[in-house]
């Protein structure tokens, strides 16, 4: 489940950065149309691909239920961090992406 959590959080952060407001707040610039499309695509792919580790770990039925819980937890964490600690939200997404290969090896 750790890999699914890391992927969901990074996906939501990418979707968040695809908006003008959050991109400007965190990176101090407006996103170009290509960057916006790239962030949206990456965010959607990460959210979609996060179902894989969840279903591998617990089976299809239970894995999808746990994936929904992980999805809500990662979104809640991002929503709570953005107003008060926006830089920490960005740092956690980067650390999560770096830790994903370790979590993937721990899965098997």
Helix axes 51-58, 60-84, angle to 10 degrees: 130
Task: Look at the block and give the residue holding tokens 């929503």.
Answer: 79
Dihedrals phi, psi of 85, to nearest 5 degrees: -135, 70
Contact of 7 with 76, CB cutoff 8 Å: no
Q: What is the pLDDT of residue 46?
A: 95
Q: What is the pLDDT of residues 3-41, one digit of tens each?
A: 999 999 999 999 999 999 999 988 999 999 999 999 999
State yes or no: pLDDT of 108 exceeds 70. no
* Euclidean distance between CA atoms 71 and 105, whole angstroms: 21
- Tell me which residue range forms the domain holding 40: 2-107
Q: Total domain count for the chain?
A: 1
* Euclidean distance between CA atoms 104 and 66, whole angstroms: 17
Q: Say what the pTM is.
A: 0.92
Q: What is the pLDDT of residues 68-77, one digit of tens each?
A: 999 999 999 9
Q: What is the pLDDT of residues 39-95, one digit of tens each?
A: 999 999 999 999 999 999 889 999 999 999 999 999 999 999 999 999 999 999 999
């Amino acid at each position: 489940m750790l890999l699914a959590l890391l992927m969901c959080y990074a996906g939501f952060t990418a979707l968040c950065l695809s908006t003008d407001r959050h991109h400007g707040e965190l990176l101090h610039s407006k996103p170009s149309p290509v960057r916006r499309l790239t962030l949206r695509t990456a965010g959607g792919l990460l959210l979609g691909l996060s179902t894989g580790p969840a279903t591998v770990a617990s089976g299809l039925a239970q894995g999808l239920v746990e994936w929904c819980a992980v999805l809500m937890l990662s979104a809640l964490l991002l929503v709570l961090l953005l107003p008060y600690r926006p830089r920490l939200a960005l740092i956690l997404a980067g650390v999560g992406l770096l830790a994903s290969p370790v979590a993937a090896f721990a899965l098997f």
